[in-house]
Amino acid sequence: MAGRLVTIARFDLAGQAHIARNALDAAGIKAVITDEAIVAMDWLLSNAVGGIKVQVLEEDADRALAVLEQALGSDEPDEPVDEEALAAEAEAAGAEEQDELPKPKALPMPESLVLPVASPTSTEERAPRSREDYARSLLFIAWIGLAFPPVWFVALYFFFNAAFGSGPLSPRGRYNLLVGSLVICPGAVLAWMLCAGFSGAFG
């Protein structure tokens, strides 16, 4: 049917399609490019629409193919490619490039940047907490317990360890123990009242 457009070439890039159309125009064959705008908007659609197409009139198709083969070359290779020979050449070229590459040299680390490595301490090597530590923790947790009463149970743990633990207690530690004990007393009474209230409510 005369006047019908047929696709004679498909391209992924708009530039290739324009080169083909220019070659056809130079040979006196009118050609159009289709789907260029769609592929330009989203190149992922190229496979969906079949790429950018170069179309000519049906009666000019054979002559247009001959012009494109002459201008752009044939898609088919002139002689078959030996894949094994090609792979061997690639391996040889890669080995030569590896030999040519200089090996990286290790730079010395400045002594100012070298951090001392501490030897890992086992649980047996760790010193147990002293009564001083428990008394200090008691004072701290007791004050927190004024705002958050459930913490007083933790404060009681620190109290018993500071009061009846082994080892000496300094005057500062005795002060922490005394003040911490006075602070947790209202908490102990409040905790007892809460427990009694809950047991009365559910008993």
Confidence (pLDDT) at 101: 59
Cα(160)–Cα(135) distance, rounded to whole angstroms?
Answer: 9
Q: Which of 45, 72, 99 is the last residue of a domain?
A: 72
Specify the number of domains making up the chain: 2
Assess contact for 60 and 70: CB atoms under 8 A.
no
Question: How far is C-alpha 125 from the chain's CA centre?
Answer: 39
Q: Which residue has the higher pLDDT, 85 or 135?
A: 135
What is the domain extent for residue 197? Answer: 131-202
Residue with tokens 């040979």: 27
Does 131 have pLDDT greater than 60?
A: yes
The values of phi and psi at residue 23, to 5°, are -65, -40
Calpha distance 182→189 (Å, rounded): 12
Q: Look at residues 27, 56, 72 and tell me which one is the last residue of a structural domain.
A: 72
Look at residues 72, 92, 110 and tell me which one is the last residue of a structural domain.
Answer: 72
Structural domain includes residue 116: no
Residue 182 contacts residue 146 (beta carbons within 8 Å):
no
Q: What is the pLDDT of residues 70-128, one digit of tens each?
A: 888 755 444 555 677 767 777 776 666 566 656 666 667 666 666 666 555 554 455 66
Query: Alpha helices of the chain — where are they, by DSSP H?
Result: 14-26, 36-41, 46-49, 61-72, 83-100, 131-147, 152-164, 171-202
- The strand pair at 5-11 and 31-34 is best described as unpaired
> Alpha helix (H) ranges present in 9-60?
14-26, 36-41, 46-49
